[in-house]
Amino acid sequence: MKRFLIVAAMLLVLVSSADAKRKAKIPTEVTLSKEVLMDKIKGAWAGQIIGCTYGGPTEFKYATTINDNIPIRWDDHGIKWYYDHAPGLYDDVYMDLTFVEVFEKEGLDAPVESFAKAFANAGYPLWHANQAARYNILHGIMPPQSGHWKYNTHADDIDFQIEADYAGIMAPGLPNAASHFSDQIGHIMNYGDGWYGGVYVANMYALAFVCDDVETLCSEALKAIPAQSRYYKCMADILGWHRQYPNDWEIAWALANKKYGFDIGCPSGVHSAFNIDAVINSAYILIGLLYGEGDFGKTVDISTRCGHDSDCNPASAGGILATMLGYEAIPEYWKKPLYEVMDREFKYTDISYNRACEMSYNQALEVVERYGGKVGRKDVKIKVQTPEPVRFEQSFEGIWPKEKIQIGGKDILKVGQLSFEGKGVVVGHRVSHTAEYKLGSSYEARVEVWVDGKLDQTVLLPVQANNYKQEIYNNYDLTEGKHTLDFKWTNPVLGVDILINYILPYVTRPAEIDTF
């Protein structure tokens, strides 16, 4: 027994020493030459572009892992091809640049209204939480309500996660500053776990400037997320599964999907293999980083092969790791296609890769000084922060999606009264229109939504391509029980049809769900 206690004590000392060594890898103060700082910023933006390009061909084509036997092409002109033929692939980047540009024009204290208006009025198309937020802003619902789950059915989606890179890149070694610059902007389009996805990504970027160990980076950045959140629990599980199964990322993938691979918010993802939820897609970023073992190509490939949003996830993983490694350390095989486009402007912007690096570099110098560091002639002294948890938020609290009732695209003028049972509901629709109502039309259908015989909302449905409404109606605050829905289109016109696709009732969240 005595010998057992001695061995146990020795093991405890070894574990404690390992933990201490891991913690010691995050210094309290760092001096970086300006050349190194710029090299890391260049790596951050390059890693995003490369990862996004590599994963582009597989985006949302796989709800399972992408087998190693399935080749993913990479060639010397691939990035230029997307710039020329499918520039919308880089929404990960040009969305970020919207916010970078506002900081450039209005400074670090720019009001959230400036970011919201720039985002809502930009020329690029949007989807999911971003599009719901755009619609809200254009109709007078400003942040943070524009991203709140009561107003935005996609609040837990991946959207802010893919565009939060800017916050970490502008806050080298300053994760709490990254959280600060993620707060108001992140709540333009997300809430709860959807917001946490961006906070975690931004914190990993910030720490990647001063940390050279991937596992340490991932575990330290997780301190920014409240421990009681589902998001935190998933990332903590991934870290634990990586330690338990260090040589097989697909085991971690399978365990994550079994425990967290369901969506209760995004109407497209509920009761569907499609999953754009921030929690599971962040897990794929983390799996790529941990099992990639500091190898850029391996990291990007694994994040891609996790499936679902398989361009955005390797973009984040690639950007984070390339911040740690620096631009010069990215293998030539991966960098070479970038050379052709470094001074080309991203679609919907007047900002190139090189210009983005310059803007982020200048903003990083400002942030370092604001948070107690010093900017010298040749180097930058950073007072490194330990991540502190942001506030706790929970989307879709107390509710659970029941079966999705398919209506089959019936004309709103003929669909009649719809019945359901629950305490909430989302109604999916589609607006069909002839050519005269294409981009540029100012027509908005005006639809009254009557619940249980009483007018509940008057909904406006723009036909203009960039301004559409994601779902015609949602309400999570009904009394549990039987309800009816009626729709009255008060300004119908020839050439426009409104079709009702489904109703998705919500009931009280079953207690047993939380025991999983």
Identify which has the larger pLDDT, 22 or 133.
133
Name the pTM for this structure: 0.94
Is 352 a residue whose pLDDT tops 50?
yes
Supply the pLDDT for residue 441.
78
Q: Kindly state the tokens that stand for 46.
A: 């390059």
State the average pLDDT over residues 57-76. 92
State the number of CA atoms in the 13 A half-sphere of 160 facing the CB: 34
Supply the pLDDT for residue 436.
66
Supply the pLDDT for residue 15.
37
Supply the pLDDT for residue 514.
64
- Whether the link from the prior residue into 144 is cis, omega within 30° of 0, is yes
Supply the pLDDT for residue 438.
61
Looking at 190-311, list the stretches that DSSP marks H as alpha helix, in order from N- to C-terminal side.
Answer: 193-208, 214-221, 230-244, 249-260, 278-292, 296-305
Is 246 a residue whose pLDDT tops 90?
yes
In sequence order, the β-bridge partners of residue 496 are 433
pLDDT in tens, 382-415: 999 999 999 999 999 999 999 999 999 999 999 9
Domains in the chain: ranges and CATH: 24-383 (1.10.4080.10), 399-515 (2.60.120)
pLDDT in tens, 433-466: 876 666 557 899 999 999 999 999 999 999 988 9
Count of positions (residues) in the chain: 516
Supply the pLDDT for residue 477.
97
Q: Kindly state the tokens that stand for 514.
A: 């939380």
Least confident of 9-18, 104-113, 321-330, 364-373: 9-18
DSSP string, 446-492: EEEEEETTEEEEEEEEE-SGGG--S-SEEE--PPSEEEEEEEEESS-
Q: Which of 374, 363, 380, 393 is nearest to 177 (CA)?
A: 363
Instruction: Identify the DSSP state of 435.
Output: G
Query: How far lies 392's CA from each of 180, 278, 406, in Å?
Result: 15, 16, 35
Q: What confidence category does residue 418 fall into, taking pLDDT thresholds of 50, 70 and 90?
A: very high
| Average pLDDT of every residue of the chain | 93
State the average pLDDT over residues 71-93. 95
State the average pLDDT over residues 19-33. 74
In which residue are the tokens 């310059």 written? 358
In sequence order, the β-bridge partners of residue 473 are 427
State the average pLDDT over residues 412-425. 97
* CA geometry: angle 461, 466, 469, nearest 5 deg: 30
C-beta neighbour count of 23 within 10 angstroms: 12
Query: How far lies 81's CA from each of 73, 181, 272, 277, in Å?
Result: 13, 33, 32, 29
Least confident of 7-21, 223-237, 316-330: 7-21
Supply the pLDDT for residue 420.
97
Q: Kindly state the tokens that stand for 420.
A: 């359901």
Supply the pLDDT for residue 10.
35
Instruction: Report how far residue 132's alpha carbon sits from residue 240's, in angstroms, rounded to the nearest whole number.
Output: 35
Is 314 a residue whose pLDDT tops 50?
yes
- Quick one: 289 exposed, middle or buried, by C-beta within 10 A (0-12, 13-18, 19+)? buried
